[in-house]
Structure 1
Amino acid sequence: MTATTVTATANTRPTQTARSGWLHLCNGLDPVRDGGMVPSILGMTGALQRAGGDVRIVTSTPSRLDAATIAGGVAIAGPETNVAEAVGSAEVVHMHGLWQTHTRRGGRFAREARVPYVMATHGMTDPWALRHKAWKKKLYLTLVESRNLRRASCLHALSRPEIGHLRGLAPWAPVCFVPNGVDLAAFDDLPPRSVIEAEHPELKGKFVLLFFGRLHAKKGINLLAEAMRTLCPAFPELHVLIAGKDDGEWPAFADRVADAGLTDRMTYVGHVGGERARQVWAAADAFTLPSYSEGFSMAILEALACSLPCMFTTACHFSEAAQADAALVVEPRADAVTQALRNLLERSPAERAKLGANGRRLVESDYTWDQQADRLASVYRWLSGGGPSPDCVVS
């Protein structure tokens, strides 16, 4: 569908522009800096392209795409792009995240050009997230983001609790519920575990519990350290593998582990991506994410796609996994995390394999990117063409 709208750049008067395509705006595509939002955006836009969309990504900072998988046909432009022109020529704009330049400018340009826009906050409206650096976010919310959210054509919730978080900030804006997805093929035929064991022989013969994510305060890495203190002496075969960029929490975590005399029971490999990430997934016997706050974790979906038995917290907002007997889901408290991991370790290999198989089946059934792209495409077509709202629009 193509329409005509009046658009304006920062330096020119409004002109008549043909409107077409689905534009995604984000801060950048740097997996080291931007974390799970990068595979989320790339997976989402790639599937939308496969679904027949004309998709373009514009970033306000430079990207790092050397280890990223870019779907054919998805155009990516950097900070040199004239954002006002890009927004004004789009059929629908989809903005990702909060608190940054691309939403401040993108929301204003979309309203000026009368282009419908969607905002996906990726968990940034979660109460824990809003309490983190609270005064800065409250000020920016008052000056900028509240207007963007309230005037959005549609808000994009990745989890059911996020629907309520968004409604609290923008009570009258429609909300579509479209979770993240995963490309299953990327997690089939993983390399042999011996590949990473050759580099890290301490993993040989161990039960490897994988934490995959940024080492940020919200990820609950401190809860994992407390669980290790209790569980490592009781389970001599347990070894914890940590994969992810240090975002401020590594020194404290390493100190806690060292104080407990458990440094040799843990391996840290830093940020991984591409084939290196597949090697890390292949090394794991189980996965944990004891977070205090999440949007909708890509790492959880990837762990389920790998058929790994999983333990994560209610703050990950994925109760569907517990309902499908695909994961152990507990409150983000040290005692609850420790007991759930003990439960996982005490299960037989067959019981853990059943848990992992249920996880893979859940992803196959409801959480592939192609399924989510169909839902998002229906939202875009509704916003640009009218008619009844699609089933995934919940308010």
Structure 2
Amino acid sequence: MDRPLKIAKVIPYPLQALRFGGPVVQAQVVCRELAARGHEVRVITTDIELPQDIRRNEWIENEGYHIYYASTSPHHRMPPYYTPSIRRPLREILDGTDVVQTNIGLTLTNDMVRKLTKRAGVPYVYNAEGALCPKRMQIKSFEKKLFRYFYENRIVREAAVCQAVSQYERDTLMQWGVSPERIAVIPNGFSLPPIDTREAKMGLRQQLGYTNDDIVILFMGRISPIKGIDLLLNAFDQISDEFPNAQLMIAGPDEGIQATLKKFVQKLGLEQRVRFSGLIGGEEKTKALQSADIFALTSHSEGLPNAVIEGLGYGLAMLLTLYCNVPEIEEYDAGYIADTNVGSIASRLRLLLGDDRKRLSCQENARRLAQDRFSLGKVINDLEKVYYSIAKHPDRTRSVLRSV
């Protein structure tokens, strides 16, 4: 039996900062599961948006692993996240560490990891978490081109393994010059919840103010232009008269456009049918997922959306755009994939709203897809294979990556 590993994970913002979405949620889940399997897991991060009552600059035990919140100054709390305060704790633990996992591409934090691990002779796994998507690279494209030239190319090139969360991201890494042998496609994972009875589901819907006859469409993610919420609202407006029992819940942290979206909803006269729930977590988030019928994400760019995987796990019929990078939706007949235009989204909404039997079938298939492809156990198994491979043979990962 292989010995437990000593794993360090470096992420530029803390696991409590849910505003940053899927990467922090996934980091929590993965660290907890790796620790439960007996590995020694240490997380080094910053205090960006960290509650004041949490201790800084010392190791704190958290759900079986240890975490270090390094203090940052205000000008270090924004992209590209130059975080010199993580240097000391990372240097201190590298002796004896088997592998370092980075999270979030296009950060100076990762360049620090590259330099320190190189000196210590410790391999690292690079995970961009969707940051290299060509569409995202077009945002502030000049700055990102410079960053790629001076930093990111070298960070990617010197990684022992590059983790891609989707086939699309694998293709992107190959366009960056990474050989297929150095890429492991390992998606985000999720612990499947128990299946609720219909009575329990109806009870939760009533708590949220919905009736048994309502069909609830859930968007869950950052309220950001890149998420295409305007497309979803326009599509919802097109079908609203045809399906008067359709309701739309938009849940997530505001990144500066929610007020504009609310005014647009008022202009359409849909205030009674479109709800903005803000950032939700814990029990509130669970209730939203349990109460919904359809999960909609009409994004212009994603890596692999953690919210989609959660929606699949709760058995929600899917309405996604191509750029969500979950082609398995069509393979499993778990919903529909639309183009990023209002007409395409509206037509697929009609298909899900107008056919109860089809919607129910998609819901059952969504749950099956989550179990087959995104179960947390499978994801952790694949991560362990990669970690053990590079811990033993940092320069010879090909045989293991073929099996991941």
Could you tell me the percent identity over the aligned residues? 25
Contact 1:88 1:110 in 2 (8 A): no
Contact 1:88 1:109 in 2 (8 A): no
Equivalent-residue separation in structure 2 for 1:52 and 1:377 (angstroms)? 12
Q: Deviations over 1:241-285 (max 9, x none)?
A: 111011123123223222222122211110011111111112212
CA distance 1:329–1:71, change in 2 (3 Å): farther
CA distance 1:195–1:351, change in 2 (3 Å): closer
How many positions carry a matched residue from both structures?
A: 374
CA distance 1:71–1:325, change in 2 (3 Å): farther
Equivalent-residue separation in structure 1 for 2:195 and 2:41 (angstroms)? 25
SS in structure 2 at match of 1:211: strand
SS in structure 2 at match of 1:75: strand
Counterpart pick for 2:314 among 279, 286, 306: 306
Equivalent-residue separation in structure 1 for 2:174 and 2:362 (angstroms)? 34
Counterpart pick for 1:92 among 92, 99, 103: 99
What amino acid sits opposite 2:303 in the alignment? Answer: G
What amino acid sits opposite 1:46 in the alignment? Answer: R
Contact 1:312 1:330 in 2 (8 A): yes
Structure 1 alignment gaps of length 5 or more: 3-18
Equivalent-residue separation in structure 2 for 1:63 and 1:21 (angstroms)? 28
Equivalent-residue separation in structure 2 for 1:270 and 1:112 (angstroms)? 44
Question: Once structures 1 and 2 are overlaid, which stretch shifts more, 334-343 or 85-94?
Answer: 85-94
Q: For residues 120-269 of structure 1, what are the structure 2 equivalents within 5 Å?
A: 120-172=127-179, 174-185=182-193, 192-195=201-204, 197-198=206-207, 200-201=208-209, 205-269=213-277
Q: For residues 55-74 of structure 1, what are the structure 2 equivalents within 5 Å?
A: 55-62=41-48, 64=50, 72-74=63-65
What amino acid sits opposite 1:33 in the alignment? Answer: R
What amino acid sits opposite 2:91 in the alignment? Answer: A
In the alignment, structure 1 residue 272 sits paired with structure 2 residue 280: yes
Give the CA deviation at 1:394: 8.4
Counterpart pick for 1:37 among 16, 20, 23: 23
Contact 1:285 1:308 in 2 (8 A): yes
What amino acid sits opposite 1:24 in the alignment? Answer: K
Give the CA deviation at 1:87: 3.6
**Which residue of 2 is the match for residue 26 of structure 1?**
11
**Which residue of 1 is the match for residue 387 of structure 2?**
380
Equivalent-residue separation in structure 1 for 2:44 and 2:400 (angstroms)? 29
CA distance 1:177–1:255, change in 2 (3 Å): same
Structure 2 alignment gaps of length 5 or more: 54-60, 72-85
SS in structure 2 at match of 1:264: coil
SS in structure 2 at match of 1:383: helix
CA distance 1:88–1:215, change in 2 (3 Å): farther
CA distance 1:361–1:127, change in 2 (3 Å): same
CA distance 1:169–1:218, change in 2 (3 Å): same
Question: Once structures 1 and 2 are overlaid, which stretch shifts more, 248-257 or 317-326?
Answer: 248-257
CA distance 1:96–1:393, change in 2 (3 Å): farther
Question: Once structures 1 and 2 are overlaid, which stretch shifts more, 88-97 or 253-262?
Answer: 253-262
**Which residue of 1 is the match for residue 82 of structure 2?**
none
Give the CA deviation at 1:84: 2.2
TM-score (norm 2): 0.85
SS in structure 2 at match of 1:226: helix
Counterpart pick for 1:119 among 118, 126, 131: 126
CA distance 1:284–1:215, change in 2 (3 Å): same
SS in structure 2 at match of 1:322: helix
CA distance 1:204–1:40, change in 2 (3 Å): same
CA distance 1:281–1:196, change in 2 (3 Å): same
Equivalent-residue separation in structure 2 for 1:242 and 1:259 (angstroms)? 17
Equivalent-residue separation in structure 2 for 1:322 and 1:233 (angstroms)? 28
Q: Deviations over 1:187-228 (max 9, x none)?
A: 767965545644x53666422111011111111111101102
Give the CA deviation at 1:329: 1.2
Contact 1:49 1:73 in 2 (8 A): yes
Give the CA deviation at 1:46: 2.2
What amino acid sits opposite 2:298 in the alignment? Answer: P
TM-score (norm 1): 0.87
